[in-house]
Amino acid sequence: MTAPASHPDDQKSPVIAIRADGNPVLASGHLRRCLCIAQELEKAGAEVIFCLADDESRGMLTDMSPEAARDARVLYSDFRKPFSEIPALSAFLKDRQADLLLVDHYHIDDLYLEKLRSSLPGIRLCVIDDFTDTGRPADLIINYVLPGRSRYVPLRPQFRDIRMPLREEVRRVFVSTGGSDPYGMREILVDRIAGALPGAEIAIPQRVDRMAAFMADCDLAVTAGGTTVYELCATGVPTILFTMADNQQSLARGLAEVIPNAGDVRKGSDRIRTTERIIGWLTHMTEDPAARRALSEKERSVTDGHGAERIAEEILALSGFTR
């Protein structure tokens, strides 16, 4: 990525490595949130290097940031079995004199971290974990889906100062199934929403650069659990979520006091019930502008969009860098 800014005290700029992947199985969320953090680290003067399993992950990172992908290290490993990559990763981190490794990967377990730490005793380890904030062999664990932790949600800067206008009429419904759609929910939702709200446009994000503005032009939202939920909260779009992965259920529990959860869609019978709840909620919210306004205000209290900055500050402090 970009060369680190010079520091007035000539302090050595920290070298931060990020181990994450993205592909049709993992989707893009890990890379996207790490990229948000990387950009804040670079603003503060750090050098940031992405470490990826394969060219598929590099391709996905290229779509988000060609600059970050160009400087990334590809380990040519199996993202499902990353343990074998430790010698190559250790050698690379040692060669680059990395101060800290940020890990955001569901397939990297405690044994991996312990082995890496034993081969690089001087490196700091930071883990993004959507399930726990204790017990990992790491110096810092980041879990922003826990209740009260949403101030650490790493969102793009475009979500810091944008708010949707509250309209009396619902004319546009945002629909997202995340980076992957293993249960065909997009087609199901588009068909059912078109039948229930024939006067509303269905807005499906696909390669949208100005996502915050795209969301702010919508009146209601249906989305799978993920970072998109927090983006919608920052924008204030009244939202209902559904889940199709364990980490999405953790997010739904963390936001249970704010965002309605229609249910999980991994089982066929649950998929039908969840879809019915979504349509019922959309119909109700369409008819009740006051309810939409109340939910929008609650959502805006979830995050201010500065979570990536806060995470970067924690990482820099852990790596011994003072600003």
The answer on pLDDT for 193 being more than 70 is yes
**Which residue(s) pair with 74 in the sheet?**
52
Count the domains in the chain: 2
Domain contains 258: yes
User: Is 201 found in the same domain as 123?
Assistant: no
User: Is 166 found in the same domain as 130?
Assistant: no
Domain contains 4: no
What percent of the chain is predicted at pLDDT more than 90? 84
Provide the CATH number for the domain around residue 164: 3.40.50.2000
Average pLDDT, the chain: 93
Give the number of other CB atoms < 10 A from CB of residue 13: 20
Q: Is residue 134 a contact partner of residue 187, using CB atoms and an 8 Å limit? A: no
- CA pair distance 156, 287, nearest whole angstrom: 32
- Tokens linked to 22: 């993205």
**In 80-226, where does DSSP find H-type helix?**
86-95, 110-119, 185-196, 211-216
The answer on pLDDT for 171 being more than 50 is yes
318, with CB counted inside 10 A (0-12, 13-18, 19+), is middle
User: Is 135 found in the same domain as 52?
Assistant: yes
Which pLDDT tens digit goes with each residue over 255-284? 999 999 999 999 988 999 999 999 999 999
User: Is 110 found in the same domain as 235?
Assistant: no
Q: Is residue 225 a contact partner of residue 243, using CB atoms and an 8 Å limit? A: yes
- The domain in which residue 132 lies consists of 15-155+305-318
- CB contact set of 122 (below 8 Å; sequence gap of 6+): none
Q: Is residue 31 a contact partner of residue 60, using CB atoms and an 8 Å limit? A: yes
- CB contact set of 106 (below 8 Å; sequence gap of 6+): 26, 247
User: Is 309 found in the same domain as 217?
Assistant: no
Which pLDDT tens digit goes with each residue over 208-261? 789 999 999 999 999 999 899 999 999 999 999 999 988 899 999 999 999 999
* Predicted pLDDT of residue 6: 43
User: Is 165 found in the same domain as 78?
Assistant: no
